[in-house]
Amino acid sequence: MVRAIVGANWGDEGKGKITDMLARESDIIIRFQGGSNAGHTIINDYGKFALHLLPSGVFYGHTTNIIGNGVALNIPYLMEEIRSLVERGVPRPTILISDRAQILMPYHVLFDTYEEARLAGKSFGSTRSGIAPFYSDKYAKIGFQVSELFDGDTLKEKVERVCELKNVMLEHLYHQPPIDPEELLRTLYEYRDMVEPYVCDVSAYLNQALRDGKNILLEGQLGSLKDPDHGIYPMVTSSSTLAAYGAIGAGIPPYEIKNITAVVKAYSSAVGAGAFVSEIFGDEADELRRRGGDGGEYGATTGRPRRMGWFDAVATRYGCRIQGATEAALTVLDVLGYLDELPVCVGYEIDGQIVKDFPTTVRLAKAKPVYETLPGWKCGIRGIRRYEDLPENCRRYVEFIEKEIQTPITMVSNGPGRDEIIYRNR
Ligand code: GDP
């Protein structure tokens, strides 16, 4: 059985926590897109971890954790992440890396940084992890697959060819020092030695695992609204964040994905630029940011303060639909217990009309939030394990959201810990 765990919003919904939790009953966990540009924060028996490239199943001895072909593979970063886990007492995880994954090159990070500097105030809010240059090269067919590291002569010739192109841009657009092809080749040989123990024909491995009836989790990064096709283009990421892409980024048949769990955050947060209709500011935002997540809403990779907002039912309903969500996990509900009342954005006003369907970016820029306000529950809810034990106004909030997003909420997360979860309708 394959289940995808994906974000229904702008990312940072708590996918890492849900994945870590569900990995207990899973055999294989796969990252299928993105790279080290976003982070998952996980709190479990070993402590608190911010994972960037490793799948969130690495904390169990019984799981196989896979970097799928769709990922932007930063090899030294991955090695460092494995090392830091082991150093903190986590048993060395079983890891496989797809031989079709492409390598995030040192110059991708440089190009990302130079381009952000060139764009200055008009930048997209990149995390400077090299993700956009990486995917641009992949689709321009000048990327490097892991498998190519093991083909010496061809590699040398390709490195020279690619450097020629990159150096024109470095010299004339960015006015920066050129790349030395020989040094780059040496780096790639080092990369080869680092990944060799992990390299695998992942789609063949998964094909066999499916025949053997294994439980497989696809772990998404970011959320629906950051998808390059269906999100708030161009303020999006460079690889698809949708469950459907899980089939491609892992190498499995699409019809094998039976369950799509959309992780939905009980309020809104976003990083980077782009329209954010239910955004709040000032003291109201500061308070939610301070109380939010686990220890405040600051990016796990960049430490940047996240933009905050009320729950956006228009964006989330669309986010669930475009994911094809079969169920939703509502997270960080415990954070909202301090509020007297909770505004929920139930519509967008665009050019004097009320809109319920999430618009394209051009129209989104004109949208103003239409709120409905629900009463708060004014108490803490951590430690509660049964849905019926939640305060009535809290249940009203959950059920209001469930109706709005048109997706059954089967899990309610009321704390960052692995066991802080309330199952519903099961
Ligand atoms: P991801 O990228 O979707 O995995 O999300 P992040 O890890 O970036 O952000 C989620 C943050 O919220 C992390 O700090 C989690 O520890 C925390 N978190 C997840 N679920 C809950 C919850 O139900 N309650 C609280 N208070 N924090 C949560």
Closest ligand 1 atom to 415 CA: 24
DSSP state of 319: H
Tens-digit pLDDT profile for residues 74-98: 999 999 999 999 999 999 999 999 9
**pLDDT at position 151:** 93
**pLDDT at position 425:** 73
Rounded Cα distance between 101 and 219, Å, is 16
**pLDDT surpasses 90 at 383:** yes
**CA distance between the termini of the chain:** 18
**pLDDT at position 426:** 53
Rounded Cα distance between 110 and 414, Å, is 40
CA of 288 to the centre of ligand 1 (A): 14
Mean pLDDT for all residues in the chain: 95
CA of 337 to the centre of ligand 1 (A): 16
DSSP state of 298: B
pLDDT bracket for residue 50 (50, 70, 90): confident
Tens-digit pLDDT profile for residues 203-247: 999 999 999 999 999 999 999 999 999 999 999 999 999 999 999
- The answer to whether 12 is a known catalytic residue is yes
Say how many CA atoms lie within 13 Å of 57 toward its Cβ. 27
Catalytic residue, chosen from 20, 40, 52, 137, is: 40
pLDDT over 70 for what percent of the chain? 99
Tens-digit pLDDT profile for residues 114-160: 998 898 877 776 778 899 999 999 999 999 999 999 998 899 999 99
pLDDT bracket for residue 294 (50, 70, 90): confident
**pLDDT at position 402:** 98
State pTM to two decimals.
0.95
Rounded Cα distance between 358 and 95, Å, is 39
- The answer to whether 180 is a known catalytic residue is no
Mean pLDDT of 301-318: 92
pLDDT bracket for residue 300 (50, 70, 90): low
Query: What are the percentages of helix, strand and coil residues in the chain, rounded to 5?
Result: 40, 25, 40
Pocket of ligand 1 (CB under 6 A): 7, 11-17, 38-41, 43, 293-294, 300, 331-332, 334-335, 413-416
CA of 165 to the centre of ligand 1 (A): 41
- CA 401 vs. chain centroid, Å, equals 22
| CATH numbers and ranges of domains, the chain | 2-84+204-423 (3.90.170.10), 102-197 (1.10.300.10)
CA dihedral 397, 400, 403, 405 (to 10 degrees): -60
Tell me the H-state helices in 256-391. Answer: 282-291, 313-323, 361-364
The SS3 of residue 378 is: coil
